[in-house]
Amino acid sequence: MEPIEPGRSAPAPAASGDPCVTVVVIGYDDAAHVADAVRSALAQGPAVREVIAVDDCSTDGSGALLDGLAARESRLTVVHRAANSGGCGTPRNDGIDRAAAPYVMFLDSDDVLPPGAVDALLGAAVAHDAQVAAGLCVRRELPSGHEVPWQPELYAKASVVAHPTRRPRLVHDTLCVNKLYRTGFLREHGIRFPDGRFVYEDFVFTARVLAASPRMALVPDTVYVWHVRRAAEKLSISLDRAGIDNWQARLDAHRQAVEILLAASRKRLARAARAHFLDHSLRMYARELDLRGAEYRTDWWKRTRAYLETFDTADFEAAPAPGRVVGRVILAAAEPRDLPRLKEVAARPARLCPPYAYAPDGTPAWSADLPQVTLDHLLHRPMDLLPVAVDGELRPRARGTRLRLLLHELYGRVADAGPRTVDVDLVDRQHGTTVQHRTAAFTALPDDLWTATVALDLSALGRPGTWDVRLRLHFADGSHRDATAHAVRRPGLLRRVAVPSRRHGVLLAQPYATHSGALALRTAPGVRGVATVVRRRAARLLH
């Protein structure tokens, strides 16, 4: 990888004849958002030679809306497909075929390009003679506006990658939309998206790009805003994971991407892609298994086992430990099992909850009846990576709220490190800000346990919301571990309680377990919130 020289600035593509970009915007039945997407592309300035909006046979007036915009903007061309393609790949291919500029980018109708995105990517591509330039994408939660960066490690600083195999982590970023491509490079190598109804088409397209060994320029600028609308009537593909077809589509796309890399003799990238599958896709879906029905879980387990059987030992060894453990449990068991415990191992950060078993030879193991799933890595992993388990009991009370934590031993590693203190942060999930910070000392208990208790002031919360409980454990040996608390589910713990509030008079507080099993808190303000709960409880009693 070649670093960019400090202080070197990319040329600004402003004059006629300078390199320029075609932005391909695709949309289907998205009249509410497509105009914003197109305007964000046009607002990039003279670097954008044309915007090609491909309407995939919409039925909600999107086509007419785009035609109206095109009548007022000479750089906008609208392509009306005669039949819906069933996916995102075909309309993007339409854009590649029609692109007149030397570089091309892709934009979805419900997202936007932030100001300066095209200049940042185009400047880097030209300055470093790169066939592909890529930058940071942020996932913006709506309506809150809270932003989460996508694969930020790749874009921490400006750099040039002469060959993708020199940076295997590139396979982690499967998005096509936060990148600029030299149009001739795509056409020369026949790089296209899968046509028709093909979910996760980005996986395949990105594999084809990497297999062609482009020179890549990476920039730290935010170049794409991915809008996440969890309350939308129609969920995006990345959020609509409830059906087994979604998981099968992901398996198919990932399998095809790996095959593309192997066919191009990019074995290092293929291994990295499989390792990332274990760490990302497998963990994400495993966290949600207990939300699905028995039929789904059995089918998911069978399909996943079949795919994991195509991995070799080195693929597993290349993956971070949590995904590796989840995958090996699935391979070792013919039927779904230990789902609550798997869910916590798949969490971020990972938690390995008791009981802690050993294989006959004394090696740490997943369980006594699955001794082949060894956990010997726990004996030498750094403390900041160990999946330590902390139980949490949050008890809102009118006289004061107490959080009691119970830290478990983990094959002798916790005792060796020496638990000392724990920092507790109450984090506003909507904005990602810490609203309360507390520190408490651990006290040793019998049976290799440690406990700590902190007082939280719920009356000081300024507004209703959802609050995550985040921990940092400090040890006598100088190490620390960031963690979350496993939500204890004993009767009476996870229930709504009315507590005083300085702002609202009364605050309704409910500790709960997230879908990954972590302890969190919801609050609702005032007497109205309490009355709503009372009515719901009364209705349940009547029925």
Same domain, residue pair 375 and 394:
no
What's the pLDDT score for residue 8? 32
Helices then strands, each counted (H, E), the chain = 15, 24
Q: Identify the domain boundary among 228, 259, 277.
A: 228
Mean pLDDT, the chain, rounded, equals 91
Confidence check: pLDDT of 208 > 90: yes
Domain presence at residue 237: no
Same domain, residue pair 187 and 252:
no
What's the pLDDT score for residue 9? 33
Domain presence at residue 18: yes
What's the pLDDT score for residue 16? 39
What's the pLDDT score for residue 1? 40
Confidence check: pLDDT of 296 > 70: yes
CATH no. for residue 431?
2.60.40
Phi, psi of 341 (to 5 degrees): -70, -40
Same domain, residue pair 487 and 394:
yes
- Can you give the length of the chain in residues? 543
Instruction: Indicate the pLDDT class of residue 323, thresholds 50, 70 and 90.
Output: very high
Same domain, residue pair 290 and 354:
yes
Same domain, residue pair 177 and 277:
no
Same domain, residue pair 224 and 287:
no
What's the pLDDT score for residue 320? 95
Choose the weakest-confidence range: 275-284, 293-302, 398-407, 521-530.
Answer: 521-530
Choose the weakest-confidence range: 176-185, 194-203, 319-328, 458-467.
Answer: 458-467
Q: Identify the domain boundary among 170, 204, 228.
A: 228
Domain presence at residue 234: no
Torsion of CA 251, 255, 256, 262, to 10 degrees: 170
Same domain, residue pair 44 and 132:
yes
CATH no. for residue 152?
3.90.550.10
Same domain, residue pair 421 and 319:
no
Same domain, residue pair 336 and 285:
yes
**Kind plus residue range of the DSSP H or E element containing 238:** none
What's the pLDDT score for residue 534? 46
Domain presence at residue 36: yes
Closest CA relative to residue 135, chosen from 149, 145, 127: 149
Instruction: Indicate the pLDDT class of residue 500, thresholds 50, 70 and 90.
Output: confident
Domain presence at residue 38: yes
Confidence check: pLDDT of 210 > 50: yes
Confidence check: pLDDT of 486 > 70: yes
Phi-psi region of 274 (alpha: psi -120 to 50; beta: other; left: phi over 0): alpha
| Residue 162: domain span | 2-228
Phi, psi of 123 (to 5 degrees): -60, -40
Same domain, residue pair 7 and 135:
yes
Domain presence at residue 498: yes
Domain presence at residue 236: no
- Count structural domains, the chain: 3
Same domain, residue pair 367 and 395:
no
| Farthest-apart Cα atoms in the chain, separation | 77
Same domain, residue pair 373 and 395:
no
Q: Identify the domain boundary among 329, 347, 380.
A: 380
Domain presence at residue 534: yes
What's the pLDDT score for residue 234? 58
What's the pLDDT score for residue 539? 47
| Model pTM score | 0.88
The residues, any chain, with a CB within 8 Å of residue 232's CB and separated by 6 or more, are none
What's the pLDDT score for residue 145? 83
